[in-house]
């Protein structure tokens, strides 16, 4: 380079800096003269903005490498993978039209306009072509062109979805990426070349409406995933198989827990006897703990006049998630999507003094929300569900203490059900919000102070609060490391004002209480689905619908086996007998499939000795025991698994 070439200064992550010639590629600037960039570096942040390693630097900049270990690195890697897959599809099926192809959690997908669904054979051919494209190691090249020129470019290629995307944006220029002969509309960044994506697997095909709107055309979606090594991909695929094995829809049917039937309607759950027993155990524990924690239990109807939902703001803010109102005589009635207005009306039914506060109402209230058929998913996304709901009304000086109590209560409940890892977020004021800045600041400070006071690690989620107040969201991690949103604690400035809530203060004047919405488990249906997958259907003894099954070897032991079942039930254990004229090995396998914690085998020797031969569901032989000893064993299991059966702090 000529001696007069302009130089710029780049600052590296360790704080050191160096001068490099203007137009040096960002990747080269990271390494310096003669350096070699580690293969794990996929892209780079330039002054905080993610960009390609090949981007020419024009001014002083701070640089930070992006690797697969970061969330952004995974997104770059997997979005690059979607382009590789899209190229393979276009080469094999030239008439396929490109729609969108984002990275998603642990994978990616691409939507195509195509006349038929892609078959498993198609996916095999596409994946083989993907591997060819990886081996070709085409560089990803970025280009920019005026938006109108880009529209003409894609229109000439028959890519109507790309044209629609371009026509919906206001940017004057559009960025495109090429690899070999393939060109796609994309903001980037991407990995340097197709060969940098080491291991790709196409997983499945599905239908998807364009822009998620069922009024639009049905597209063909291909899901896939990718990792930097084959070993990492293999481990992920093994995890997917385990997830499939634990799928609550599959286990719910196999274990005869629940069904969702077309004759009744999508998103509406039938609880079979064994599933209903587990639900009863969950709900009984929930009620027991709430009463001990100073809550008052309430019940509310499933419908109310539509005017109630106008007052609460649901008609304005939540209409798309509500069922169509029904006409009753001269009034319109609405299936309830929330329980909160009912609890508010209970509060309003009496004059309240500052001495009455805090007031805590709890309800296992069934609500109904309109969800599109395409998003329904077993127990995890339904149209009718029971929310473990509570609403607290308190004075401003009580807010932090009440939030702290709810936090303690939340962790107590979740740990009892076997969850010990959590992700906690504080969501702050969004752009559109009600309430004064002072109220928002006070409430947010109370949430943060409550978390800090309990040493709970948390992240701030800026602008993600609900319109009526800030909130704490708690995600639980299951045995496979998946995070599930369950618990929420929300401060509400909106409803106390809308409904004119008040209490008489120490000064004799009317004051507005603060309202806290809170759910610990989320919904019973969704939480039950999570529990099924967390335990793979093998519920701990305290939650198992059947804790022990007595298996007779021959008909001669029938009477004794029935007596053992009666003794266990009399002691409060959930027991049943398998007295069929079948081989005992078959009965054992059936009990293991049903995931019964204890199998009590009864033969001639056991009958003569007044004992049972005990097997655990994992296959462990626990030896001969008296029925009384089995009762003690079950009780010890329950006591060990439920240390939280204490009043909440």
Q: What is the pLDDT of residues 176-196, one digit of tens each?
A: 999 999 999 999 999 999 999
**Domain presence at residue 480:** yes
Q: What is the pLDDT of residues 419-432, one digit of tens each?
A: 999 999 999 988 88
Q: What per-residue confidence (pLDDT) applies to 3?
A: 53
Helix (H) or strand (E) holding 606: helix 604-609
Which residue, of 535, 560, 578, is where some domain finishes?
Answer: 535
Pick the more confident residue, 435 or 455.
455
Residue pair 340/391 in contact by the 8 Å Cβ criterion: yes
Q: What per-residue confidence (pLDDT) applies to 65?
A: 96
The set of catalytic residues is: 340, 369, 387, 389, 391, 471, 517
Same domain, 81 and 229: yes
Tell me the chain's radius of gyration from C-alpha atoms. 30
Same domain, 229 and 87: yes
**Domain presence at residue 332:** no
**Domain presence at residue 540:** no
Rounded to whole angstroms, how far apart are CA atoms 2 and 22?
12
Q: Look up residue 514 and give its two tokens.
A: 């603060």
Q: How confident is the model at residue 321 (pLDDT cuts 50, 70, 90)?
A: confident
Average pLDDT in the chain: 93
Q: What percent of the chain has pLDDT over 70?
A: 98
Q: Identify the DSSP state of 511.
A: E
Which residue, of 67, 82, 97, is where some domain finishes?
Answer: 67
**Domain presence at residue 249:** no
Residue pair 201/128 in contact by the 8 Å Cβ criterion: no
Is residue 364 classed exposed, middle or buried when 0-12, 13-18 and 19+ CB atoms within 10 A define those classes?
Answer: buried
DSSP assignment of 181-222: TEEEE------SBGGG--EEEEEEEEEEEGGG-TTSPEEEEE
Same domain, 54 and 104: no
Same domain, 363 and 509: yes
Q: How confident is the model at residue 643 (pLDDT cuts 50, 70, 90)?
A: low
**Domain presence at residue 431:** yes
Q: Which of 128-137, 272-281, 616-625 has the lowest mean pLDDT?
A: 616-625
Same domain, 443 and 512: yes
Read off φ and ψ for residue 252, nearest 5 degrees: -60, -35
Is the per-residue pLDDT at 31 higher than 80? yes
* Bridge partners, residue 518, by sequence: 390, 489
CATH code of residue 40? 3.10.20.30
Q: Which residue from 134, 70, 58, 71 is spatially nearest to 104, judged by alpha carbons? A: 71
Residue pair 489/447 in contact by the 8 Å Cβ criterion: yes
Q: What per-residue confidence (pLDDT) applies to 647?
A: 37
Q: What is the pLDDT of residues 288-309, one digit of tens each?
A: 999 999 999 999 999 999 999 9
Q: What is the pLDDT of residues 59-110, one digit of tens each?
A: 999 999 999 999 999 999 999 999 999 999 999 999 999 999 999 989 999 9
Q: What is the pLDDT of residues 610-636, one digit of tens each?
A: 999 999 998 899 999 999 999 999 999
Locus of tokens 């829809």: 249
Rounded to whole angstroms, how far apart are CA atoms 490 and 525?
21
Locus of tokens 């602008």: 463
Q: What is the mean pLDDT of residues 441-457?
A: 92
Structural domain boundaries, residue 29:
7-67
Same domain, 55 and 144: no
Q: What is the mean pLDDT of residues 552-580?
A: 96
Rounded to whole angstroms, how far apart are CA atoms 109 and 183?
17
Q: Look up residue 481 and give its two tokens.
A: 């490391």
Same domain, 178 and 202: yes
Locus of tokens 């039937």: 261
Q: What is the pLDDT of residues 229-244, one digit of tens each?
A: 999 999 999 999 999 9
Is residue 449 classed exposed, middle or buried when 0-12, 13-18 and 19+ CB atoms within 10 A define those classes?
Answer: middle
Residue pair 612/601 in contact by the 8 Å Cβ criterion: yes
Is the per-residue pLDDT at 374 higher than 90? no
Q: What per-residue confidence (pLDDT) applies to 433?
A: 80
* Three-class secondary structure of residue 469 per DSSP: strand
* Bridge partners, residue 98, by sequence: 112
DSSP assignment of 269-317: -EE-HHHHHHHHHHHHHHHHHHHHTT-EE----SEEEHHHHHHHTHHHH
Q: How confident is the model at residue 355 (pLDDT cuts 50, 70, 90)?
A: very high
Report the chain's terminal Cα–Cα distance, integer Å. Answer: 71
Count of helix runs (H) and strand runs (E) in the chain:
19, 33
CA distances from 156 to 160, 162, 217, 475 (A): 9, 11, 21, 47
Same domain, 46 and 129: no
Residue pair 252/377 in contact by the 8 Å Cβ criterion: no
CA distances from 198 to 65, 227, 230 (A): 19, 7, 7
Residue pair 516/489 in contact by the 8 Å Cβ criterion: yes
Rounded to whole angstroms, how far apart are CA atoms 325 and 53?
56
Q: What is the pLDDT of residues 522-559, one digit of tens each?
A: 999 999 999 999 999 999 999 999 999 999 999 999 99
Q: Look up residue 526 and give its two tokens.
A: 């969704």
Rounded to whole angstroms, how far apart are CA atoms 588 and 600?
9
Residues 6+ apart with CB under 8 A from 319: none
Same domain, 293 and 440: yes
Residue pair 80/196 in contact by the 8 Å Cβ criterion: yes
Residues 6+ apart with CB under 8 A from 291: 297
Q: Identify the DSSP state of 56.
A: B
State the pairing for strand pair 41-46/331-335.
Answer: unpaired
Q: What per-residue confidence (pLDDT) applies to 214?
A: 80
Is the per-residue pLDDT at 32 higher than 80? no
CATH code of residue 358? 3.30.930.10
Q: What percent of the chain has pLDDT over 90?
A: 86
Is the per-residue pLDDT at 34 higher than 90? no
Q: How many whole angstroms from its chain centre is CA 377? A: 12
Q: How confident is the model at residue 487 (pLDDT cuts 50, 70, 90)?
A: very high
**Domain presence at residue 315:** no
* Three-class secondary structure of residue 254 per DSSP: helix
**Domain presence at residue 82:** yes
152-161: long-range pairs with CB below 8 Å, 24+: 154/185, 158/97, 159/97, 159/98, 160/97, 160/113, 161/97, 161/98, 161/99, 161/100, 161/113, 161/210
Rounded to whole angstroms, how far apart are CA atoms 630 and 636?
10
Same domain, 119 and 177: yes
Rounded to whole angstroms, how far apart are CA atoms 84 and 77?
11
Q: What is the mean pLDDT of residues 25-38?
A: 84
Rounded to whole angstroms, how far apart are CA atoms 82 and 184?
11
**Domain presence at residue 473:** yes
Same domain, 514 and 617: no
Q: Which residue from 457, 523, 451 is spatially nearest to 484, judged by alpha carbons? A: 523
Same domain, 111 and 55: no
Angle between helix axes 273-292 and 399-416 (nearest 10 degrees) is 150
Q: What per-residue confidence (pLDDT) applies to 646?
A: 42
Which residue, of 44, 67, 90, is where some domain finishes?
Answer: 67
Q: Look up residue 370 and give its two tokens.
A: 């309109």
The number of distinct structural domains making up the chain is 4
């Amino acid at each position: 380079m000529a001696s007069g070439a302009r130089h710029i200064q780049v600052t590296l992550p360790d704080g050191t800096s160096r001068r490099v010639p203007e137009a040096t590629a960002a990747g080269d600037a990271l390494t310096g003269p003669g350096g070699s960039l580690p293969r794990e570096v996929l892209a780079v942040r330039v002054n905080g903005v993610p960009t390609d390693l090949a981007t020419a630097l024009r001014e002083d900049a701070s640089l930070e490498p992006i690797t697969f270990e970061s969330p952004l690195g995974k997104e770059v890697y997997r979005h690059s993978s979607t382009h590789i897959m899209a190229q393979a599809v276009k080469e094999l099926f030239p008439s396929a039209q490109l729609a969108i192809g984002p990275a998603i959690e642990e994978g990616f997908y691409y939507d195509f306009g195509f006349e038929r669904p892609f078959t498993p054979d198609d996916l095999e051919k596409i994946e083989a072509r993907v591997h060819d494209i990886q081996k070709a190691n085409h560089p990803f090249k970025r280009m920019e062109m005026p938006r109108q020129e880009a529209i003409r470019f894609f229109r000439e290629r028959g890519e109507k979805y790309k044209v629609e995307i371009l026509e919906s944006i206001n940017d004057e220029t559009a960025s495109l990426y090429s690899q070999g002969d393939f060109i796609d509309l994309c903001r980037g960044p991407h990995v340097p070349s197709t060969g940098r994506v080491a291991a790709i697997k196409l997983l499945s095909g599905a239908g998807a409406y364009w822009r998620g709107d069922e009024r639009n055309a049905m597209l063909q979606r291909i899901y896939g995933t990718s990792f930097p090594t084959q070993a990492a991909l293999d481990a992920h695929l093994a995890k997917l198989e385990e997830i499939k094995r634990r799928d609550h829809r599959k286990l719910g049917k196999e274990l005869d827990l629940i069904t969702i039937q077309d004759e009744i309607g999508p998103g509406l759950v039938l609880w079979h006897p064994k599933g209903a027993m587990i639900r009863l155990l969950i709900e009984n524990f929930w009620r027991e703990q709430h009463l001990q924690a100073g809550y008052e239990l309430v019940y509310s109807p499933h419908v109310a006049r539509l005017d109630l939902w106008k007052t609460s703001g649901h008609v304005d803010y939540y209409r798309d998630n509500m069922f169509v109102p029904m006409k009753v005589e001269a009034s319109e009635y609405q299936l309830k999507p929330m329980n909160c207005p009912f609890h508010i009306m209970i509060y309003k039914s009496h004059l309240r003094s500052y001495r009455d506060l805090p007031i805590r109402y709890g309800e296992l209230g069934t609500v109904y929300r309109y969800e599109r058929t395409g998003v329904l998913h077993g127990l995890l996304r339904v149209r009718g569900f029971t929310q473990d709901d509570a609403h607290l009304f308190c004075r401003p000086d009580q807010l932090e203490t009440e939030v702290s109590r709810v936090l303690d209560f939340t962790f107590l409940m979740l740990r009892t059900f076997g969850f010990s890892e959590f992700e906690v977020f504080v969501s702050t004021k969004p752009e559109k919000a009600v309430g004064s800045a002072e109220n928002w600041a006070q409430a947010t400070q109370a949430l943060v102070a409550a978390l800090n006071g309990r040493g709970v690690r948390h992240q701030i989620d800026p602008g993600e609060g609900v319109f009526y107040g800030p909130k704490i969201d708690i995600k639980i991690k299951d045995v496979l490391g998946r995070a599930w949103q369950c618990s929420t604690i929300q401060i509400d400035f909106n409803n106390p004002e809308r409904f004119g809530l008040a209490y008489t203060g120490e000064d004799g004047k009317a004051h507005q209480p603060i309202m806290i919405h809170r759910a610990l488990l989320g919904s019973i249906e969704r939480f039950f689905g999570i529990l099924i997958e967390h335990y793979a259907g093998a519920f701990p003894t305290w939650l198992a619908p059947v804790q022990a099954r007595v298996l007779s070897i021959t008909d001669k032991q029938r009477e004794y086996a029935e007596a053992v079942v009666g003794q266990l039930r009399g002691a409060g254990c959930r027991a049943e007998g398998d007295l069929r004229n079948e081989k005992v090995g078959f009965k054992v396998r059936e009990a293991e499939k049903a995931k019964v914690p204890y199998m009590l085998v009864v033969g001639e020797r056991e009958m003569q000795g007044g004992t049972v031969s005990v097997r655990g569901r994992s296959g462990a032989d626990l030896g001969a025991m008296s029925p009384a000893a089995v009762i003690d064993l079950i009780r010890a299991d329950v006591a060990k698994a439920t240390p939280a059966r204490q009043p909440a702090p």
